[in-house]
Amino acid sequence: MNNRKQIEDQAYSMLQKNDLEGMGSTINTNPWLLTSTFDFGGTLLHDACWNDQAQMAELLLSLGADVNSKGSFSRDEQYTPLSWGINKMGTDTLKVLVKYHADLNFGGPIYRAFVREDKGRTLAIALLKAGATNRANEVFTHAVMAGDEELVDLFLAHHFSPDIKDDDGKSLLTWAANNSSSGPHYRIAEKLLAQGAKLENRDKQGYTPLYWAVSSRFRSAPLINLAKLYLDHGAKIDSENYEGVTPLLYAAENGELTMLELLAARVSKVDMAQRDNHRNTILHFAALNFNNGVCQYFIDKGFDCNEVNSTGDSPLHFACDSHKYDNVAALLQAGAKVTIKNKKGKTPLDDLKKYPSIDDPNYEKCVKTLEQLEIIEKSREFKQIQKESELPAQSITLKSGNFIILADLADRKVLSAKSEYFKTLFNQYDLDKSNSKNIDLSEKFNEHIFRCMIIIFSGMKNVVKSLDTATALLMVG
């Protein structure tokens, strides 16, 4: 036994020194060495491949070594000389193994070669040309992701399907649209389409490639040309994922204005009015968009900013919940109601306060504005008060930049107002109800209640510049 161990150690030392002559002589005398396994679990051939010793591997194979030996590795983690050495070997050693008919698929060596930092791509191409298929689809997918046109061409030349999918169900056309706006991905998409790739292939969430093409999230520029390519080849704008979201709705949340204009030119107003399974309108999705102008774009197209979904949320709820301040301003300017409560009894202001951004000045300004507007909306009884007292609209005017309410309004209606809330509001500021002439409301009252009539978000776009005085005060809705 000791003699056998000494011979094994001697042979292993010869391998490390790449002593071809000594190894040949020793194995001729002790052929059992070809099947012996060492402490790491592999044979001499395994180690020769790991060391990238092409000549040594050729010698061992010529003397009868098993090119597909699995050594004494554990059952759960077995390796052939190829799958063991693929992380280290070069093309010469690989050629030797291919020459002796190594199993090119055991352990997925083509994928493990491809992800190597050095020589990986060259080895993967050599394995592909030699007929490797196991995990080759993963390499094909990575080639598309990386924009590797040469490798993509090679896979297509070897008749790999242009419709292969990864574990998440994403197709190659999806990955072409999910990485870059650069030329290679566009050209790869053209090649895949030319080979018959299907644009309605869905991933596990029901998304087709067009969804990813229309999104600009995490991109420096939108994929206008790629989206147009997909549309020109028949991609469906009204195709729904498993939540009922179409590419158009998805773009409303994640796309840029130029992309929305491209899509809108291809659909009718009826198609735009489509809702998802949760009754969200296109304006609900736009309220979540991080790109300036998208929300305003759909407001300008006439979509109702006070439509609610199945949970009772309006677009303003969505904009507030996601802290999209520009969208909040655009919706307010369009007449979004701040007092709408969803089925949980929450207003947009409640959703805004759910995740406080104390250090963000825009957050504080938005909170104050919504608080002030809530007070105004709750005071809509002004309209009924004016009607009952037959006060002319001229009774409500501006003086020195402050709002003035005539004393007869206070005298005749405030004290008898049906709304205890509004009555309390007036009493809180000690209005002089005995004076039947004009009363200049206190500065405090003006600032607390009516300042919100001119809403200014510093540094923000789409601000509410002004509201009609009478309309604001009467809140006709």
Backbone phi, psi, residue 399, to 5°: -140, 125
Confirm if 267 and 300 have CB atoms less than 8 A apart.
no
Q: Is the pLDDT of residue 464 over 50?
A: no
- Give the bridge partners for 405, in sequence order: 396, 439
3-state secondary structure of 368: helix
DSSP code, position 178? S
Residues 6+ apart with CB under 8 A from 269: 301
Q: Is the pLDDT of residue 217 over 90?
A: no
**Which tens digit of pLDDT belongs to each residue from 334-368?**
999 999 999 999 999 999 999 998 889 999 999 99
Q: Cα-Cα-Cα-Cα dihedral of 361, 366, 371, 373, to 10°?
A: 140
List the end-to-end C-alpha distance of the chain, in Å, as a whole number. Answer: 98
Q: Is the pTM of this model over 0.75?
A: no
**Which tens digit of pLDDT belongs to each residue from 20-71?**
999 999 999 999 999 999 999 999 999 999 999 999 999 999 999 999 999 9
Confirm if 362 and 325 have CB atoms less than 8 A apart.
yes
pLDDT in the model for residue 182: 67
The CATH architecture that domain 1-134 belongs to is Alpha Horseshoe (1.25)
Assigned token pair, 252: 């409303």
Q: Is the pLDDT of residue 400 over 90?
A: no
Domain boundaries, the chain: 1-134, 379-474
Mean pLDDT in residue range 224-233: 94
Q: Report the run of H or E that residue 47 belongs to, with start and end.
A: helix 44-50
**Which tens digit of pLDDT belongs to each residue from 273-315?**
999 999 999 999 999 999 879 999 999 999 999 999 999 999 9
pLDDT in the model for residue 380: 63
Backbone phi, psi, residue 396, to 5°: -105, 115
**Which tens digit of pLDDT belongs to each residue from 411-433?**
333 334 334 433 433 443 343 43
Assigned token pair, 426: 């007036």
pLDDT in the model for residue 103: 98
